[in-house]
Amino acid sequence: MNDMNNFDMQNTPLPQYPSVQPSAPSGKPPKNRKPHTTAKVAALLAGVLIVGGGAGFGGTYLANRTRSTAVVSSPNATSKPSADNSETHTSGTPTLDEMQKDVTVPQHNVTSNVEFKTDGTYMYTRDLVNAVRDSVVYIETFVEYRGQKQQYGAASGIIISKDGYIVTNNHVVEDSSEFTVKVSDTDPETGIVEQETYDATLIGTDADTDLAVLKIEAEDLLAAKLGDSDTLRLGDDVIAVGNPLGYESSVTKGIISGLNRQVSDSQRGLTAIQTDTPINSGNSGGALFNAYGEVIGVVNEKRVDSYAESLGFAITINEAKDVINDLIDKGYVSGRAMLGITYLKIGETAAAYRGETAGWQVTKIDENMAVANSGLVVGDTIVKIDGKSIFEDDIMNVFSEKKPGDTVTVTVIRTNQLGHDKEMNIDIELSEYKGE
- Catalytic residue list contains 230: no
| Residues 300 and 170 sit within 8 Å (Cβ to Cβ) | no
> For residue 366, what pLDDT is reported?
93
Give the three-state DSSP class for 174. coil
Cα 9 to Cα 41, 66, 359, distances in angstroms: 12, 9, 11
CA-to-CA distance for 101 and 338, rounded, in angstroms?
35
Domain with residue 386: its CATH number is 2.30.42.10
CA-to-CA distance for 389 and 363, rounded, in angstroms?
19
| Domain count for the chain | 1
> For residue 166, what pLDDT is reported?
97
| Residues 336 and 432 sit within 8 Å (Cβ to Cβ) | yes
The residue-averaged pLDDT of 149-170 equals 94
Residue 112 lies in a domain: no
Distance in angstroms between the alpha carbons of the first and the last residue of the chain = 24
| Residues 141 and 153 sit within 8 Å (Cβ to Cβ) | yes
> For residue 306, what pLDDT is reported?
67
Q: Give the domain range for residue 346.
A: 337-432
**What does the buried/exposed string (b/e) look like for 356-371 if buried means 16 or more CB atoms within 10 Å of the residue's CB?**
ebbbbbbbebbeebbb
CA-to-CA distance for 38 and 40, rounded, in angstroms?
5
% residues pLDDT > 70 (the chain): 74
Residue 419 lies in a domain: yes
Which of 284, 334, 374, 431 does the annotation list as catalytic?
284
CA-to-CA distance for 160 and 325, rounded, in angstroms?
11
- Catalytic residue list contains 156: no
Give the three-state DSSP class for 49. strand
Q: What is the pLDDT of residues 238-282, one digit of tens each?
A: 999 999 998 898 999 999 998 988 765 434 446 889 999 988 888
Cα 379 to Cα 67, 68, 414, distances in angstroms: 15, 13, 7
| Residues 223 and 100 sit within 8 Å (Cβ to Cβ) | yes
> For residue 57, what pLDDT is reported?
28
Residue 348 lies in a domain: yes
Residue 11 lies in a domain: no
| Residues 264 and 43 sit within 8 Å (Cβ to Cβ) | yes
Residue 405 lies in a domain: yes
Which of 134, 208, 210, 265 does the annotation list as catalytic?
210
φ, ψ for residue 170, nearest 5 deg:
-60, -40
Residue 231 lies in a domain: no
Report whether pLDDT(107) > 70.
no
pLDDT band at residue 4 under the 50/70/90 scheme: very low
- Catalytic residue list contains 210: yes
Which of 134, 171, 281, 334 does the annotation list as catalytic?
171
Q: What is the pLDDT of residues 330-365, one digit of tens each?
A: 998 888 888 999 999 999 889 888 888 999 999 999
Q: What is the pLDDT of residues 302-322, one digit of tens each?
A: 777 667 677 889 999 999 999
Q: Which of 376, 366, 365 is nearest to 426 (CA)?
A: 376
Residue 68 lies in a domain: no
Q: Looking at mean pLDDT, say which of 68-82, 93-107, 259-273, 419-433 comes out highest.
A: 419-433
| Residues 181 and 214 sit within 8 Å (Cβ to Cβ) | yes
CA-to-CA distance for 104 and 278, rounded, in angstroms?
27
Residue 406 lies in a domain: yes
> For residue 381, what pLDDT is reported?
95
